[in-house]
A and B are shown apart, each in its own frame.
Chain A
Amino acid sequence: MSTPTESILNIGRTDDETALPAESFIVKYPTVARVVRVCFAYAFVALAVGGLFGVIQALHRTNVIRVIDSADYYTLLTAHGVFLAIVFTIFFLAGVFAWANTRSLERPPLNPRFTWLWVGTMSAGTLLSGGSILAGLVAEIDVSADVLFTFYAPLQAHPLFYIGLALFVVGTWLAGIDWFRQYLDWRADNPDERIPLQSFMVLTTMLMWYLSTLGVAIEVVVFLIPWSLGLMPAPTPLLTRTLFWFFGHPVVYFWLMPAYLMWYTVLPKLSGGRLFSDPLARVVFVLFLLLSTPVGIHHQYLDPGIAEGFKFIAMTNTMFLLLPSLLTAFTVVASVEHGARQNGGEGYFGWLTALPWRDPAFTGMMLAGLMFAAGGFSGMVNAGMNINYLVHNTIWVPGHFHLTVGTAVALTFMAAAYWLVPRVTGRALYSRPIGLFQVVLWFIGMTFMSAAMHRGGLAGIPRRTAEPEYSKFTFEAVVGTISSLRLQIAFGGVLLFVSLVIFLANIALTAANNEPATGLKTDLPPALSGPEQSPQVLDELKLWAIIAIVLVILAYSLPLWSIINGAGFYQDGITASPQVVQPVLEVLI
């Protein structure tokens, strides 16, 4: 993937039949293609490291093989969470969005230097945060960040970890500005056109991201960085938890939206059909912009200090969020069915056999969608206030998000890579059969691991612990035995790791493949029910952004006010400020 674009463009040039067509993405936008390659490279390196730590944890906590000290388990757990849930997902998103925005607006970003600026900022943030986590494994370096993916007080990390995170988020903000500038440039040329669908998806997702990252920005910049530097006292855990989850739930949709973008715009083409409805796709993305953020308190059902009523509002908003996902289930399946029927599929279920199951990109996305349907059920359980109490902080919860981010998102990204990497490298996929085996193996591995995790959670096994046993207490499984559940988790984790290694090898061999990619001439088909049938108001991004802000104010202002009034900004009722600020504050207040 690091090969210079020029040499890739020369592949097949000597032979007209196999030369990359002039309309292909890599020939039209070589700089953007390189940006996408760099983003994917970061994503896949993070995937490799995070995945390795994942299998070590699965084997450690099930007591099958222990290669690390139990004290280091939490360093690996933090790295697993941050590398996979932040670095892998968001770098892949950046690559997909850079591709989709450029492709659908038919123009590259205005200033390549600005594009490289956000790539560089995200990279610097990744190296700082990732480095400070990994330093925890080296006793000689006095730096560690074993605060887990949920980085709120009272656990404290080295300042470099928080500074790296802040840089990373600023990088994503700059990326969003880059994509909005691309859009405004397009809008100046096309004042009356509907926003192209992929660009619409990119823009609404980024608006949601700007709104939701405000929470984590305040948490990190105002509280955690000054605290870790020793300038300020420890902030109230409840306050930093609330600010974290203000961002912590919408971030799951930030992972999911690029997967949805692939399901809506690429999957119909792979199935040989067309998107069923462009208006429905727009409605779904608008709903995610509106509802992603005012739901974060549903992660805090067990937090004392937040009134039941506020939790109830968060639960109601969360249940509304099922709507866009169920709309997606309909639209995406109907689009795939359209492809099957165009290729001779018949009957109520027989059409399923007329689909291109040999294609790893197609099969991977379909299996990811299937797992997401199962994740939807465990998500409803998590979101219900009373049933949440049953599974809260048990291994059920990791079981749930390995279905959603670990499969719906990660498997879609891997499947998308099989389709997209040839388009941004100009090189043919090394092996489709191996790719098919890999995505199916991921599905099987996750079935074992996730089902056993859910069941273990119902038996009360806690999450996030290297030693999930308590003396004088034994867990009782609803079905089967706890030792069998442990073996299933370990077995599933090993299958997932094998699948991951196969994926990375296939992609690496693709990047080094000297055969030119084929099939680059066909573009994505337009929707059956096109944008001209969708209400104009859906494209009013300002209106939706304002409504989203109002909803967030409604859901969060009272809970935050009551936390600050009750527990205060700092623990034990300290009203703290740095010595230099104190005199200024006294004058002002």
Chain B
Amino acid sequence: MSRLSPAALLLIGAALVPIAIEFPVILTFVGIRNFSFGLSFALFGLVFLAILVWSEVADVIGSSAGS
């Protein structure tokens, strides 16, 4: 059992921000045009929660070594 450090959570959260912002743009490539910005953020908020839960239950490799 291991948990991600606050620094790792901060960086993972930060990395999700640009993805959440660009996600609606990526969807326009496949023809989905009306995917709202707020919906995208809600979605990636859930992704972040999922990572939190996963880090509680999984044995995270390398969590003690720097990240």
Interface residues of A (CB under 8 A from B): 343-344, 350, 353-358, 363, 367, 433, 436-437, 440, 443-444, 447-448, 451, 478-480, 484, 488
Question: B62 near A353 (CB under 8 angstroms)?
Answer: yes
Residues of B within 8 A of A479 (CB): 24-25, 28, 33
Question: B66 near A440 (CB under 8 angstroms)?
Answer: no
Given A353-B61, A353-B62, A479-B25, residue A448 in contact with residue B67 (CB < 8 A):
no
Of chain B, the residue at the smallest CB distance from A436 is B7
Partner of B14, one of A444, A480, A484: A444
Partner of B67, one of A357, A436, A447, A484: A357
User: Does chain A have a CB within 8 A of B30?
Assistant: no
Q: List which B13-46 residues lie within 8 A (CB) of chain A.
A: 14, 17-18, 21-22, 24-25, 28, 33, 36-37
User: Does chain A have a CB within 8 A of B65?
Assistant: yes
Residues of B within 8 A of A480 (CB): 24, 36-37
User: Does chain A have a CB within 8 A of B47?
Assistant: no
Q: How distant is A562 from chain B, measured CB to nearest CB, in Å? A: 42
Of chain B, the residue at the smallest CB distance from A272 is B66
Given A440-B10, A444-B17, residue A354 in contact with residue B66 (CB < 8 A):
yes
Most buried by A among B8, B11, B65, B66: B66
Question: B17 near A355 (CB under 8 angstroms)?
Answer: no
Interface residues of B (CB under 8 A from A): 5-8, 10-11, 14, 17-18, 21-22, 24-25, 28, 33, 36-37, 61-62, 65-67
Question: A363 near B11 (CB under 8 angstroms)?
Answer: yes
In whole angstroms, how far apart are the Cα atoms of A466 and B38 in the complex? 27
Residues of B within 8 A of A443 (CB): 14
Question: B66 near A355 (CB under 8 angstroms)?
Answer: yes
Further pairs besides A350-B61, A353-B62: 8, Cβ < 8 Å: A344-B65, A353-B67, A357-B67, A358-B66, A363-B11, A367-B14, A480-B24, A484-B37
Q: How distant is A487 from chain B, measured CB to nearest CB, in Å? A: 9
Residues of A within 8 A of B5 (CB): 358
Given A480-B24, A480-B37, residue A350 in contact with residue B62 (CB < 8 A):
yes
Q: How distant is A362 from chain B, measured CB to nearest CB, in Å? A: 10
Question: B28 near A357 (CB under 8 angstroms)?
Answer: no
Of chain B, the residue at the smallest CB distance from A356 is B66
Residues of A within 8 A of B25 (CB): 478-479
Question: B18 near A357 (CB under 8 angstroms)?
Answer: no
Q: How distant is B29 from chain A, measured CB to nearest CB, in Å? A: 11
In whole angstroms, how far apart are the Cα atoms of A451 and B33 in the complex? 18
Question: A440 near B67 (CB under 8 angstroms)?
Answer: no
Could you name 21 residue pairs across A and B whose Cβ atoms are closer than 8 Å? A350-B61, A350-B62, A353-B61, A354-B62, A354-B65, A354-B66, A355-B67, A358-B5, A363-B11, A433-B6, A433-B7, A436-B10, A440-B11, A444-B17, A447-B18, A447-B21, A478-B25, A479-B28, A480-B24, A480-B36, A484-B37
Q: How distant is A40 from chain B, measured CB to nearest CB, in Å? A: 26
Most buried by B among A343, A357, A448: A357
Question: A451 near B21 (CB under 8 angstroms)?
Answer: yes
Of chain A, the residue at the smallest CB distance from B38 is A484
Residues of B within 8 A of A343 (CB): 65-66
Q: How distant is B14 from chain A, measured CB to nearest CB, in Å? A: 5
Q: How distant is B9 from chain A, measured CB to nearest CB, in Å? A: 11
Q: How distant is B17 from chain A, measured CB to nearest CB, in Å? A: 5
Of chain A, the residue at the smallest CB distance from B27 is A479
In whole angstroms, how far apart are the Cα atoms of A437 and B37 in the complex? 25
The 7 closest A-B pairs by CB, nearest first: A353-B62, A353-B67, A447-B18, A358-B7, A440-B14, A451-B21, A444-B17
Residues of A within 8 A of B61 (CB): 350, 353
In whole angstroms, how far apart are the Cα atoms of A444 and B18 in the complex? 8
Question: A448 near B62 (CB under 8 angstroms)?
Answer: no
In whole angstroms, how far apart are the Cα atoms of A350 and B65 in the complex? 12
Question: A437 near B28 (CB under 8 angstroms)?
Answer: no
Residues of A within 8 A of B65 (CB): 343-344, 353-354
Residues of A within 8 A of B14 (CB): 367, 440, 443-444
Q: How distant is A500 from chain B, measured CB to nearest CB, in Å? A: 17
